[in-house]
Chains A and B, each alone.
Chain A
Amino acid sequence: MALDKGEITKIAKLARLTINDEKIPEYTASLSSILDLVEQLQAVDTNNIEPMAHPLDATQRLREDAVTETNQRDDYQKIAPATEDGLYLVPKVID
């Protein structure tokens, strides 16, 4: 399956990646070849095979509902570029 330039640009935008225009043909080719592989896999007859959400044949273990974490805000915020009033500060985003 061949992707076109527009799709590559859209994928990059959704992933918040800035890409160099010159690189687009290269990305188009390599991403398309990944999809070719998926296409090959899709050719396999999977009738009567239960879909698999996880490669391990195991069941999710559940945690008891109990508070086990303590407040470590000061430690966590040491690596944040900007904080104020206990908040993490990020460039302004508004919908």
Chain B
Amino acid sequence: MAWETVIGLEIHVQLSTQSKIFSGSATTFGAEPNTQASLVDLGMPGVLPVLNADAVKKAITFGVAIDANINQKSDFARKNYFYPDLPKGYQISQLDLPIVGEGHLDITLEDGTVKRVGVTRAHLEEDAGKSLHEDYHGMTGIDLNRAGTPLLEIVSEPDMRSAEEAIAYVKTIHSLIQYLGISDGNMAEGSMRCDINISLRPTGQEEYGTRTETKNVNSFRFIEKAIRGEVIRQMDELEAGNKINQETRLYDSNKDETRPMRSKEEANDYRYFPDPDLLPVITTDEFIQGIKDALPELPWQKLERFQTEYELKEYDARVLTASKTLANYFETVVTTSGAKAKLAANWVTSELLGALNKSNTDIQQSPVSAEEFGGLLKRIADETITGKSAKTVFEAMLNGEGGADEIIKAKDLEQEKDSGAIEALVDEVIAANPDQVAKFLEAEDSKKKRFIGFFVGQIMKASKGKANPQQVNQLLAQKLK
């Protein structure tokens, strides 16, 4: 039977506030255990939560960017469950009136197709602490530094039909939250985690099948693998005539499979009720308008602008605007180098990203700053060095040997502009290769290019990459007749 996959995602985004959502504790990642856990975060009796204005602002910023309804009256509820990393016995979350209502996001698939994905809602809540299960004499260690970190839970409609679509959606959200400056999006540090709802239905059937929820998947690769694995598992069950149990599952990246969570059959009975400690949050029209007016350039707007302002191809523009950091890097390179945008785009996407990829670092940790990289391109643009020498300079920059000008000087890479010196080299190479010259002269026109390539290569080598290739080509054309 042919099956259709139906996927909905709940994405938890840690908002990049200085302090927690309901207390004045710091939210810095990686602090010593429990040094950022105040009485409120510890769930001590007699304390009251006080809502962080910036968390509200960041949530609304997201809502405005996805064209969502903002609930100007919003309230908080208690979601009750027992787990030691949740000392109060409930998580403060939102149920009936989430701060962000219905909105939507357009995603672009690999083949260029654009698909609209509905966002059901996005609500504010607090993160839980961390449980460390390694052996503390058979006990579990609890670190409450993360408890109370503001989260925005973004709930999508079940609009995605494949792992590819789900990944495209997650990447779009990931890029958007960084553009908006509402989260650092650092997935390795848990700033974005994903719960994946998956069900299958016979193709053509309207009614949804029974779904499972795979919790807490925290990398693009794992999201993709978890979906693929769970789809195959469900398909096998259905093909065998079995039913799917509605259940919560965990993705085990070591075994690359999902398995049901134990002892959680009643976990979904959260007994929500309005939190009496928190009053309704009212946001004014002016407040929302202020956020709209201050909205930064959004990824899809930047993509558009890169194509018109810099005349880049859509593909290049897409690569360069995938992250805000990379887009800013590129623009700084263009302004500091004075080089053509196309040259800058080529160098950033192939040389820089290639080098970063090889060393497994991302643009944020680039060993060569945008200004330094611009300094290198400036020397290509003003023809101080050839493109070939520029690659040598770039390698040296990656090794920390200094700025472009410094390296050009130290390695004596300045382009040979003296045509007499180049001509001498050309003559030298022609004289040293009589066989090749003979072959060249005998060759048909269509094959001559190959021989020219040989001579250019030899001459460039003799000049240590310093000869201007165009000049070399011209001279060769004159001399090899």
Contacts and interface: CB of A to CB of B under 8 A. Distances in A.
Interface of A: 10, 13-14, 16, 51, 53-56, 58-69, 71-73, 76-77, 82, 84-95
Contacts of A55: 276
B39 A76 contact: yes
Contact of B24 (A10, A16, A51, A67): A67
Contact of A66 (B19, B83, B276, B282): B19
B477 to A, nearest CB: 67
Contact of A95 (B97, B137, B250): B250
Interface stretch (B25-33, B180-188, B346-354, B468-476): B25-33
Interface string B33-49: 11111110010000000
Contacts of B131: 93
Interface centre among A10, A59, A88 (most CB of B within 10 A): A88
A71 B36 contact: yes
Given A14-B269, A68-B24, A89 B139 contact: yes
Contact of B42 (A14, A59, A76, A91): A76
B73 to A, nearest CB: 9
Nearest to B250: A95
Contacts of B271: 14
Given A53-B97, A88-B144, A62 B52 contact: yes
Interface centre among B36, B37, B82 (most CB of A within 10 A): B37
Contacts of B34: 73, 76-77, 86-88
Top 7 A-B residue pairs of the complex, sorted by shortest distance between their CB atoms:
A68-B24, A87-B141, A65-B54, A62-B53, A86-B33, A53-B75, A60-B279
B24 A71 contact: no
Contacts of B36: 69, 71
14 contacts: A53-B96, A54-B274, A54-B278, A56-B279, A60-B279, A64-B53, A65-B52, A71-B35, A84-B136, A84-B141, A88-B84, A88-B142, A89-B140, A95-B264
A52 B17 CA distance: 30
A60 B140 contact: no
Contacts of B33: 85-87
Contact of A76 (B17, B37, B53, B84): B37
B53 A63 contact: yes
Contacts of B266: 10, 13-14
Contact of B280 (A59, A72, A88): A59
